[in-house]
Structure 1
Amino acid sequence: MTMNHSRNRQSSPPSPQGPSVRINKAIAQAGVCSRRKADELLAQGRVKVNGRTITSPGLQVDPSRDTICVDGKPVSPAGQTSRPVYLLLHKPIRTVTTLRDPAGRPTVIDLLPPFFRKKRVFPVGRLDYYSEGLLLLTTDGDLTQKMTHPSYNHPKTYEVEILGMPTRGMLHVMRQGMTLAEGERLRPVDVTILGTRGNRTTLSMVLRQGVNRQIRRMCRDLGFKVLKLKRTSQGPLHLGDLKPGAFRELTPEEVRQLKKSVQQKRDTPVKD
């Protein structure tokens, strides 16, 4: 057994035959999920190493020798996995962005054929139940970690239809970075008016942080009701004319551009 952790004095040191890595990183590199999600799986007692339930994300393992299981299924070492899968899905409304839903609602995984479900793809980030648009699903845990980490500021563009017409002052507030009613300080949002129809306005909004339900909460604080919210791009990826519920694999060039877009951190502090 090659596990090594300060709370387990009886475990032998990492094997010299393979590199030792943290258990959460080993799970992510195997394409099961992101490191952040791996931490959740560990805390829930859903991970076993060599038959023992592990809850600490800091445990050191040798993926080439230790047997790692998630929900009872063996995890292949990173070097033995097949080619990573990258899917671009047009998430429809009334679909949850999870692998499974206790309430029995349809999930984004349910939209995929068995072939890709068996690949154990997982969503990168979230779109809420009543939002639609571009959602990346992949088996690449390292890429997911970078795309969802706040220090990379990965831009996401949304088309937002609201009831009402924002004033110049309201647009300025969003562009400068507003503070939500709950006290969360937001980074500046690139917002422009795409068009109006009666008392409805369609906005383009570019976000660079992952605050939960950010657009809906911003509009709420400014007195607007969101009628429709659709993500149209994320980094170099674009939704295009993909229909709701449909998906496609990324092209090799799209994968290259996506990885290039997260090679360097672009951490921009929030203005006070």
Structure 2
Amino acid sequence: MKHPYKTREGGATVTIFVPYDCKNHCPFCINKEEYADMTGFSVEKICDSIRRMDAITPRCDFVFTGGEPFADLESLQVMLDEIPTTHKIYINTTLPVSEYQSEEDILTFLEKNKEKITCVNVSRHMQHYVVESNDDLLARLPVPFRVNCVLYKNYPVKDLVPYLERFHKIPGASIQFRFDYTATTPENLYEEEHDKILHDLKEVARYTGLDGCRMRCGFHFDYKGMELTYHKTLPYSTIVETDPKDGVTYDILYDILIKQNGDIHSDWTGVLMDVDAYEKVVFEPYDLKWLERIA
């Protein structure tokens, strides 16, 4: 650690990489190579780190990702049980269904944990990178859900409206379109004029506003009453900034990672966190705010 830590009120989001793999090969995924050698991966060590983070920031958000969180429901349950109800919990998933795991298995699991799970973020891309469960399963989920879609490189623009119509008919659906975060820079984070995705969405949906912070932003739309967001975020999660009030330079953390072996990182770039120093973290108001709203 070069500088003392600062983060938003409540604490930085803690993303947990489950210690088991998925069967997908999405071209924009930078996590896949981490699962090539699973030596040292441990549910127990992850649980130790969950307890440590809960003790420091008892109201931070937790996100399960991978890998595929729902690929091992028993292990996921063990990790979920370690998180008190003071936290919001999000799960990134493809909702995998196979000969070994049925739709009913997933629904039973979610029903059991519906008081703890804030939202399930379901990957459904315009280009088929993964084996998808039936869309009808989304309508049966006993927890809130959001559809996540990475618009990767030369995505098929002609399929945009059919894609929106596909989910518009499912009660409770909203969609978050995502820019390829590996290509996001401070220079293009808020850039609009040359953003092809933004222009494509404005052609088919009503633009309603923009929110954002130092690290990420969201362009908001309405499509026939269904909420759409176009999300852009930087590929790292630490901002180095000097506070003009006290003259101290801080590492401002937006995301903390619990890796598959239980190690705690302070950034997506592989930086190990000084957990003892984080116990003395300075809090600031969250800088995410609406920058533009259109009625």
TM range (shorter): under 0.3
Q: Is the radius of gyration larger for structure 1 or structure 2? A: 1
User: TM-score of the superposition, structure 1-length normalised?
Assistant: 0.23
Q: Taking CA–CA contacts closer than 8 Å with sequence separation of 6 or more, which of the two structures ends up with the larger relative contact order? A: 2
User: TM-score of the superposition, structure 2-length normalised?
Assistant: 0.21
